[in-house]
Structure 1
Amino acid sequence: MAVHSDVKKTAKAFVAASVLATVMSACSSFSASGPTPYKAAKSADAYGYSSVQLDDSRYRVMFKAGEDTPADLVQEYTLYRAAQIASEQGYSWVAVVKTDIERKANITQRVVKDKKNTLPPVLKEEQCTMSGCNDVAQPFEVSDSDLRMEEAKTQDVYYSIVARMGNSQVSTGDNAFEVQKVISRLTEIVNP
């Protein structure tokens, strides 16, 4: 009997852990609270940066962020990405020629833990020995019953710039930045 209850207990724990792992891995595709990190967008609808080359020395650099991302951080991410592109293309100056910002309503899903149940769940089962049978209660880790999907309305931020690149401040314009200075200054912000 004791072996059977151990198998039941192990099976229940395995199922709970599997469900939790599945739900937690699925949440990577959902919006997370907090600022959007600096990263490449994996698709057209994903959060992060992307870029399009307009001509030899001009690029449109875009960054999609969740509403929890401060506007100045989104601007710095975009300028940092423009400076990276300029550096990769062999340019030493980058200028912001045009900016555009747009907010779009979005419905996201988030995995949340219910706060109603603050105590760990308890597994009660009968364990029998040669002396007789007793009910035994054992706490176990979080189960899928503590997690739920929640929909929330958000305002995604779409920020884009047109960046002109060149090898002198004169060739790029009055509002030009030195590429290496931008990269040096923003590296700690972008990669904390």
Structure 2
Amino acid sequence: MRLPTKMKIAALACSLFVTACTTTPIASPTPYKSAVTKEGYGYSSVQLTDNEYRVLFKATDRTPADVIQQFALRRAAELAKKHNYEWLAIVKTDVDKKAVMARAVTHNTDEPQPFATNQQCTMSGCTEVAQPVPGQGQNTVTQTQINDVYFSILVRMSNTQGSLGKNVMSVEEILANQADNAK
């Protein structure tokens, strides 16, 4: 069955509209999560040697810098534990920022409106979408410039504390502190 040309054009326009809406980031803090796509927000990692990884956490600049660093360290500790390492050391850190246009949702009442986030997937990939929780007042979506923050750490792991130098951290302590901070 062949679709009429007008229906094909309408379907193409709808798919382009949906793709454009879902690829625009939201000007809100980035939670701890895995980056679903290469361009996505959250953590990703690359194994460089048997005991070295580069961990990247991509976030919006609406996420406090210390939180971004904690998220990268948490991911490094999770990787170390997964590979049965007891100790890790950060060998190098790097921070980069890139200006991007994002959607900002404002609620036009005196009461703050909570947001719920969910994942929206299309054929071109998945992105995190923030939706205001229904309530009173009007919502306005505007374009605003934010910075994407790319924080990466080069991490070396070992089962002996002395082999990593002076900036050694216990994997178990990192994970315990992260659990305490989440409470």
Q: Please indicate the TM-score interval, normalised by the length of the shorter structure.
A: 0.5 to 0.7
Q: Which runs of 4+ in 1 moved over 4 A?
A: 26-29
Q: Report the equivalent of 1:52.
A: 46
What stretches of structure 2 of length at least 5 have no aligned partner?
A: 1-17, 110-133
Q: Report the equivalent of 1:98.
A: 92
Q: Distance in 1 between matches of 2:31 and 2:24?
A: 14
Give the TM-score of the pair, scaled to structure 1. Answer: 0.65
Q: Report the equivalent of 1:156.
A: 148
> Are 2:27 and 2:62, in contact at CA under 8 Å, matched by a contact in 1?
no
Deviation for aligned residue 1:156? 1.5
Alignment root-mean-square deviation, CA: 2.7
Equivalent residue pairs, number: 140
Deviation for aligned residue 1:149? 2.9
1:84-123 matched pairs, under 5 angstroms: 84-114=78-108
- Relative to its length, the structure with more helix (as a share) is 1
* Deviations 1:13-56, CA, capped at 9 Å, x for gaps: xxxxxxxxxx9xx67963142x3211111112211111000010
Q: Report the equivalent of 1:178.
A: 170
Q: Distance in 2 between matches of 1:68 and 1:111?
A: 13
Change in Cα spacing, 1:68 to 1:90, as seen in structure 2 (3 Å) is: same
Aligned partner of 1:181: which letter? E
**Secondary structure at 1:104's aligned position in 2?**
strand
Give the TM-score of the pair, scaled to structure 2. Answer: 0.68
- Give % identity: 41
Deviation for aligned residue 1:76? 1.0
Aligned partner of 1:108: which letter? A
> Are 2:90 and 2:167, in contact at CA under 8 Å, matched by a contact in 1?
yes
